[in-house]
Amino acid sequence: MTRRIKFKSEVGRLLEIVIHSLYKHREIFLRELISNSVDALNKLKFKELQGEDIVDKDLEHRIDIKVNQSENTIEVVDTGIGMTEDEIIENLGTIAHSGTRKFLELLEKKDNVKEELIGQFGVGFYSVFMVAEKVEVISKSFRKDAPAVKWASEGKERFTVDILEGNYKRGTSVKIYLKEDAKEFLSESRIEAIIDRYSRFVPYPIYLNGRKLKQVKPLWLENPRDLKKEDYEEFYKYLTKSELKPLNYLHIYSDAPVDLKSIIYIPPFSLVKFGLEDDTGIRLYNRRVLIAEKTEELVPDYLRFLKGVVDSEDIQLNISRETIQNDPVVLKLKKTITSRFIKHLKDLLKKDRANYSLFFDEFGVYLKEGIVKDYPEKQDLAELLLFEYTDGEDKITLSEYLEKTDYKDSIFYIVGEDRKTIEKSPYLEQFYKKGVPVLILTQVLDETVLEHIGKFKDAEFKLITREDVSLENKKEEDKSIEESDRRFLEKVKEVLKDRIHDAIVSTRLVKSPYCLVSQKNAPSSQMERMMNALNKFYVPSKKILEFNTSHPVYKNLKDFVLNSEDEKLKETLLNSIVDTAELTEGFLSDIPHAVERYNELIERLVELEKK
């Protein structure tokens, strides 16, 4: 008896899209079907290894493609796990595959998404309707006593399901009746080219009209010495179902202390940037049998952008999602992969700086995450960071920084919004004068990263906008303060007591007349502003106002403050100085009052001119 069943509405929507808008990518239907067959064979192999009872035990594990010119059909047949009636209704009537679901979401925001990303998701079984006017699936489950079942549909609202009598062998056959405009796929050479392109690494033999096609052994099991860069790139494309090349890769091939054959890829860019989750992760195999598809447990969380395969004979076949995390073999694999990968990055940094820089620009933020979350390999990660600095255009590592400075116990840094503003900052004057490099941090996160590193090779990180950080010896300078300076500073403190913590003579300024510095243990102004943005009750700490006593502005200002009787003007002028010092740092805390003060000063100036 034939059952007529309606597709779930989401499938209907998908079919619409597949049939109408994916014309350019039509050939991928074959990749999707072969990939389903591989999955089915993997699942079967898995059952076998677990000792389950299986029908047609001696059937060869294989995939057959049959092209029939006179019938206008293509058939993809496998001897995999098969489906029962219930399974076929569930699997081919709803959207099972999370990638397909994402694909739907992706198409909705298509405008801001790159075309080539589409290939990364795959549309699964339903992609056959790009080329088919009708599809018939015949499947027989590996389970004893399950009858064969036939599913058929024209990709419209419904599909039909029939139980079949008679003799069928285990596995699934998908028969496609080609549309009028899809006859190109009746060409054997065309089909062979598509298989070669997308399914070359499939771990089961593929036959085309009875002829066995040439295939490549799973790459990770081959000796790295026998492989070329192109081989790795091809495999990456196969793995990610895309046309993109990886940024870099690492092939681990070892038997001890744990059996591990693995290829780890750094993708060309981070998908997360496009607001998308990444579907390909790291696949776990035991001797080519797929154990888990996207195995997050094989690398620490901060390396989640990596893709590739991991194969180990030591892994249990029946490991479950729940136990995988604490499995001793998995933990051992994770440790080895992590340390090998970090070592690989260190080598890359040394040997191919251009490639490393590309990596760092794209994924450096993940390494920083590893540091901030205090992973045990944090000090190794610190060696992999690149920073902008005052003396050069290129970025440098912390070790390179230490090679460039005479102050081996300090790594000086400054935080700001953009490099151009920072470069003109008065805080840097003494460093320029003495030729001491300073790291330029333009991301607030970087400051936290340095805090978490703590110390790097005995050197301490020093924020140069803090009161206690200076290249000069403060005590000597103290002596040169005159009585009039002392009185001036007292007056400044009195007038500005609500805005500043202290007023002192500077040892850091060379060209600028004054600046604000942070108190000893205070975070940078940028950090404080961020904290204030996150929590409006956070009160930024008061700054210290420093004066350059050898600057002409200072002398005039001092004379005026000590000798004039116009208290109102003194207050405006000194407050304006704090405003200007804030601006030098890149942020004005109270714009309306600052503007009032400037206007008042302009008015006074104009009056003066008139007199």
Give the interface with ligand ADP as residue ranges (CB under 6 A): 32, 36-37, 39-40, 78, 80-83, 91-92, 96-97, 100, 124-126, 172
Q: How far is the CB of 198 from ligand ADP (least distance, A)?
A: 14
Query: Hey, what are 585's tokens?
Result: 């740092």
Q: How far is the CB of 280 from ligand ADP (least distance, A)?
A: 13
Q: Which lies closer to ligand ADP via its Cβ, residue 91 or residue 240?
A: 91
Q: How far apart are CA 95 and CA 93, in angstroms?
A: 7
Q: How far is the CB of 140 from ligand ADP (least distance, A)?
A: 10
Q: Which lies closer to ligand ADP via its Cβ, residue 124 or residue 426?
A: 124
- What stretch of H or E contains 578? helix 567-585
Q: How far is the CB of 92 from ligand ADP (least distance, A)?
A: 6
Q: Which of 443, 416, 439 is nearest to 584 (CA)?
A: 416
Q: How far apart are CA 488 and CA 560, in angstroms?
A: 10
Q: How far is the CB of 465 from ligand ADP (least distance, A)?
A: 54
Q: How far is the CB of 52 from ligand ADP (least distance, A)?
A: 16
Q: Which lies closer to ligand ADP via its Cβ, residue 175 or residue 501?
A: 175
Q: How far is the CB of 349 from ligand ADP (least distance, A)?
A: 38
Which one-letter DSSP state was computed for residue 115? G
Q: How far is the CB of 128 from ligand ADP (least distance, A)?
A: 9
Reading across the β-sheet that carries 410-415, which strands appear in turn?
392-396, 387-389, 439-441, 410-415, 459-463, 455-456
Q: Which lies closer to ligand ADP via its Cβ, residue 118 or residue 495?
A: 118
Q: How far apart are CA 509 and CA 276, in angstroms?
A: 48
Q: How far is the CB of 27 from ligand ADP (least distance, A)?
A: 16
- What stretch of H or E contains 485? helix 483-495
Q: How far apart are CA 74 and CA 64, in angstroms?
A: 10
Q: CA of 344: how far to CAs of 89, 234, 272, 302, in Å?
A: 48, 21, 24, 16
Centroid of chain to Cα 370? 12
Q: Which lies closer to ligand ADP via its Cβ, residue 34 or residue 385?
A: 34
Q: How far apart are CA 283 and CA 294, in angstroms?
A: 5
Q: Which lies closer to ligand ADP via its Cβ, residue 33 or residue 422?
A: 33
Which one-letter DSSP state was computed for residue 148? P
Q: How far is the CB of 88 from ligand ADP (least distance, A)?
A: 8
Residue whose structure tokens are 């000796």: 223
Cβ–Cβ < 8 Å for 453, 371 = yes
Size of the chain, expressed as the number of residues it contains: 611
Measure the N-to-C terminal CA separation of the chain; round to a whole number of Å. Answer: 109
Q: How far is the CB of 139 from ligand ADP (least distance, A)?
A: 6
Nearest 5 degrees, angle CA 107-CA 110-CA 112? 150
Q: Which lies closer to ligand ADP via its Cβ, residue 101 or residue 378?
A: 101
**What is the C-alpha radius of gyration for the chain, rounded to an integer number of angstroms?**
34
Q: Which lies closer to ligand ADP via its Cβ, residue 260 or residue 282?
A: 282
Neighbours of 474 (CB within 10 A): 13
Q: Which lies closer to ligand ADP via its Cβ, residue 78 or residue 377?
A: 78
**Residue 299 Rama label (left phi>0; alpha psi -120 to 50; beta):** beta
Q: What are phi and psi of 496, to 5 degrees?
A: -100, 20
Query: Hey, what are 515's tokens?
Result: 């600046």
Q: Which lies closer to ligand ADP via its Cβ, residue 100 or residue 425?
A: 100
Residue nearest to ligand ADP (CB): 124
Nearest 5 degrees, angle CA 275-CA 322-CA 308? 50
Q: Which lies closer to ligand ADP via its Cβ, residue 100 or residue 242?
A: 100
Q: How far is the CB of 137 from ligand ADP (least distance, A)?
A: 8
Q: Which lies closer to ligand ADP via its Cβ, residue 84 or residue 390?
A: 84
